[in-house]
Structure 1
């Protein structure tokens, strides 16, 4: 599949999945999966960074439109998109010259797990801090961050296991 078509399909699919399905899932009253951030994980690293940051912002903005949340998803998604190269270099021990050959599916599970978990927790922590916007409910922020991150990561790894293509 052409990379541009793949990026468009991934963007639209994750947006519609989040906006129409996952925003209506509220497990135990406060756990909500935010699977749309998978776009940040799967966007090719070798592509130009500026369009990626714009797409990440737009994805968050469209999720905000579905959620009526005033920009908090846009900021959270843009932030993890911006810091993604740092985690790439730190966790995978690769340089920017390795971007051309990098594929998340070819990396070991522990590195992928650390990468996705770090970005997910950061995204959710920022998101729930902006939702509460006070230190009065900081324990709720931590609980929501923890449980929603676990729920999001379980859905991500289940989906990546189910939809994995043969590598041969």
Structure 2
């Protein structure tokens, strides 16, 4: 029950952070962090995959409702939630029996970095591709994807460093 309350709190916190603070940031016309996807990174692997997809759908739908963005956040968030397991297996090379013990905080930095960078780039590329919906603006899609991904990842790693529990 404690883990469930933590996930609910994290869901609400990241949603409110995104819609009340981060959606109002547009630095240099390109940088807009999307920290709500951190929920997908942290969501436990041992939980039912269907509950992750439902949570991702509700999270993306909520961001879309507050942002008036017509479903682009929902699609991008559900997509990375769906492919997350594939990248987990490819990067961390863990067996299914290791799912119960998996914690992103206990993994080597290089693997966590690769995992989060790949999922963030995919999410942002889908998001900005659907937002622009034109090959005419493809350079803008790439620039927005790159800069927003860097800032989102900076927020993630800074937050994980600040809120890291000391391991005894």
User: Where on the TM-score scale, by shorter chain, does this alignment land: which range?
Assistant: over 0.9
1:17 is aligned to 2:7: no
Partner of 1:161: 161
Partner of 1:147: 147
Partner of 1:41: 41
What is the CA-CA distance between 1:130 and the residue it aligns to? 0.2
Structure-2 separation of matches of 1:74 and 1:22? 17
Structure-2 separation of matches of 1:131 and 1:10? 26
2:136 match: secondary structure: coil
Structure-1 separation of matches of 2:52 and 2:128? 24
Q: Deviations over 1:119-148 (max 9, x none)?
A: 000000000000000111101000000000
Q: Deviations over 1:97-127 (max 9, x none)?
A: 2110100000000000000000000000000
Partner of 1:27: 27
> Normalising by structure 1, what TM-score?
0.98
Structure-1 separation of matches of 2:53 and 2:167? 29
Unpaired runs of 5+ residues, structure 2, are none
Structure-1 separation of matches of 2:161 and 2:101? 22
Moved over 4 A (4+): none
Structure-1 separation of matches of 2:162 and 2:105? 13
What is the CA-CA distance between 1:4 and the residue it aligns to? 0.5
What is the CA-CA distance between 1:30 and the residue it aligns to? 2.1
1:137 match: secondary structure: helix
Contact 2:61 2:74 in 1 (8 A): yes
What is the CA-CA distance between 1:56 and the residue it aligns to? 0.5
Structure-2 separation of matches of 1:98 and 1:85? 13
Partner of 1:76: 76
What is the number of residues matched between the two proteins? 168
Unpaired runs of 5+ residues, structure 1, are none
> Normalising by structure 2, what TM-score?
0.98
